[in-house]
């Protein structure tokens, strides 16, 4: 479990305007927790705080165990441009090449795309490769920042199914402002 206790954070040091102010909530060890808020309300900041990319100005973020492994699917595409689709995924996982290919096929990334570089993919294809990369990193917690943006209905549903499967045994924290994404959650946190 992850516990936020009176967490505050502001981007400008000493700023009176807090991006995140007095947050108190828990994230369970499994299931999907959705953090819902309009743009600019601090959703991505919360993910960065969980990941340790930012430190709270005050309050605490407590983890129920040490050395928690966090997998993060950022809102922007984080693929290495000099590597192929297969290489971008294989460098973050110990899974077999066959298993990687199986996941790619589940999200309609067919074999004609496997050796292509990110710049040769559409935005939706890059989004799906990033999601697979995050899932196969196999963290204890999966952080998803607007993970289904730009996906058509079929690919969105396939991606949702993979995330739901993952969440049966691991924690997923999803941030979104889209009502359909909110419906996936076992727990909802409104900012």
Taking the mean position of all CA atoms in its chain, how far away is CA 154? 20
Residues 6+ apart with CB under 8 A from 140: 65, 68, 69, 70, 170, 171
Are 92 and 137 in contact, with CB atoms under 8 Å apart? yes
Q: Is 138 left (phi over 0), alpha (psi -120 to 50) or beta?
A: left
2-190 topology per CATH: Rossmann fold (3.40.50)
Mean pLDDT estimate for the chain: 91
On the question of pLDDT at 25 being above 80, the answer is yes
Instruction: Report how far apart, in Å, the C-alpha atoms of 120 and of each of 81, 85, 106, 124, 126 are.
Output: 9, 10, 20, 12, 9
pLDDT at res. 18: 66
Percent of the chain scored above 90 by pLDDT?
Answer: 71
pTM for the structure as a whole: 0.91
pLDDT digits (tens, 9 = 90+) for 73-128: 998 889 999 999 999 999 999 999 999 999 999 999 999 999 999 999 999 999 99
Rg over alpha carbons for the chain, rounded to the nearest Å, is 17
Contacts of 166 (CB under 8 A, 6+ apart): 135, 142, 172
Per-residue model confidence as pLDDT tens digits over 58-74: 999 999 988 899 999 99
């Amino acid at each position: 479990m992850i516990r936020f206790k009176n967490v505050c954070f502001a981007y400008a040091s000493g700023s009176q305007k807090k991006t995140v102010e007095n947050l108190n909530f828990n994230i369970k060890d499994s299931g999907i927790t959705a953090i819902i808020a309009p743009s600019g309300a601090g959703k991505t900041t919360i993910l960065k705080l969980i990941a340790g990319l930012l430190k709270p100005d005050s309050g605490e973020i407590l983890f129920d165990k040490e050395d928690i492994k966090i997998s993060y699917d950022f809102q922007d595409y984080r693929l290495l441009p000099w590597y192929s689709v297969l290489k971008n995924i294989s460098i973050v996982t110990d899974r077999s090449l066959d298993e990687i290919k199986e996941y790619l096929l589940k999200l309609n990334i067919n074999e004609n795309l496997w050796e292509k570089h990110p710049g040769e993919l559409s935005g939706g294809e890059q989004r799906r490769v990033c999601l697979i990369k995050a899932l196969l990193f196999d963290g204890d917690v999966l952080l998803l920042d607007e993970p289904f943006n730009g996906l058509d209905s079929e690919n969105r549903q396939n991606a949702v199914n993979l995330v739901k499967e993952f969440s049966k045994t691991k924690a997923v924290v999803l941030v979104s402002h889209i009502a359909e994404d909110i419906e996936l959650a076992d727990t909802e946190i409104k900012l």
